[in-house]
Amino acid sequence: MDITLKNISKHFGHFHALDSIDLQIQSGELIALLGPSGSGKTTLLRIIAGLEFADAGAVYFGGEDVAATPLRKRQIGFVFQHYALFKHMTVGDNVSFGLRIRKGEVRPDKVAIRRRADELLDLVQLSGLGDRYPHQLSGGQRQRVALARALAIEPKVLLLDEPFGALDAKVRKELRQWLRELHQQTGVTTLFVTHDQEEALELADRVVIMNGGRIAQVGSVDEVYEQPASPKVFDFLGSTNRIPVVQRENSLVIGDQHIASYSGDYTGNVTVYVRPSDLRVAGDDDAGFEAIVLNVQRTGPIVRATVEVQYTGQRISVEMPHLHHDVKKLHAQQKLRLRLMQFSVFAAEANSTVESALVPPHLIGRERLRLA
């Protein structure tokens, strides 16, 4: 089932929750609605479900306008963050609830209902647990029951609101992979809300990044991560170093140090955005900038260092896999040169600080510099 949103707006009193949202979702896609608290992602999900109604705009399911159609008629499966299971019902009865409350000819017989519940419990890897009660299950198992219940009615669209937010990190990671496999098996058009960048990038076919009630960027995982449309998008998708530099002709410089080749329409003060994992120790013939290592932390497979840029005195972060050959050069008080593997460049106002370069943002470009 494809979904089209046109000019969706929603107010709560004086608060503008959504502002003219346009979005096209293809049938069978797995879409992440990603953004900080208050960005409008849950409100948008609830409008798609029919739990909220937009003040303006239209929602189309397969070309049919359903903006005024109530939830019960939209064939939506909805999964809440805190499961919302019926405590007094068995797992099997929870899964089959949507089928048992149907009326008339659309209600399957008891044998068919039980068979469907067993099939779904097998699908979500909970075979044999149908006679248990929710309190006898782990958090991850209860979330699987909630998903099975949503799938029981054979929905055209599956909506999930922070589905793994109540679970610990290890269980969340396991369930992300499981949900991806489940989606591949069912092919149901699926949207999920999350504020977890890793979750969105790992699961989704496309990511819709929201901020302030608007869509900041829509694209594949590679597109939003490698080609962020603004500083805020770059910031939201992971750890960020912001380095004020100057563009002179086809070169980015810090003081008299050439740090990268870059050709853009803008000349003057710019801000380089680079992720800690995209910095490496420069060789003798590499462009780069001088820095001194302040401290080093080794946390499992990642080595993190804080360094001070020599010309500006600015502190930035560097991350490397613990087996990378550059790690041995990271020691407190070590002087070294760093190079940019890939980075984004955004315009900065003259004489601005790094922070003031965020508003208003103007994307100049994205350069990818690969390791030799």
Same topology, domains 3-226 and 238-368? Answer is no
- Using alpha carbons, select from 218, 244, 212, 251 the residue that is nearest to residue 309: 244
Does domain 3-226 match CATH 3.40.50.300? yes
Sign of CA dihedral 47, 53, 55, 58: positive
Which pLDDT band holds residue 359 (cuts at 50, 70, 90)?
Answer: very low
Q: Under a CB-based contact definition with an 8 Å cutoff, are residues 152 and 121 in contact?
A: no
Q: Contact 338/318 with Cβ under 8 angstroms?
A: yes
Residue with the bigger pLDDT between 81 and 354: it is 81
CATH architecture of 238-368: Beta Barrel (2.40)
pLDDT score, position 356:
29
Average pLDDT over residues 129-156: 89
* Residue type (1 letter), 177: Q
pTM of the model: 0.82
Looking up tokens 């959504």 gives 18
Q: Read off the pLDDT of residues 233-276 as tens digits, 9 standing for 90 and up.
A: 998 888 899 999 998 888 899 988 999 888 766 668 888 999 99
The percentage of the chain sitting over the pLDDT mark of 90, rounded to a whole number, equals 46
130-137 long-range contacts (CB < 8 A, ≥24 apart) are 130/90, 130/91, 130/92, 130/95, 131/90, 131/91, 131/92, 132/90, 132/91, 133/87, 133/88, 133/89, 133/90, 133/91, 134/83, 134/85, 134/86, 134/87, 134/89, 134/91, 134/94, 135/87, 137/91
The pair of three-digit structure tokens given for residue 347, joined into one six-digit string: 């315009």
Rounded to an integer, the average pLDDT of 137-142 is: 88
pLDDT at 20: 94
pLDDT at 85: 87
Q: Can you give the residue ranges of every domain in the chain?
A: 3-226, 238-368
d(CA 4, CA 47): 12
State residue 220's pLDDT score.
95
pLDDT for 348 equals: 64
Q: What is the tens place of the pLDDT at every residue in 163-219?
A: 877 677 777 788 888 888 889 988 999 999 998 888 899 999 999 999 999 999 999
pLDDT at 353: 34
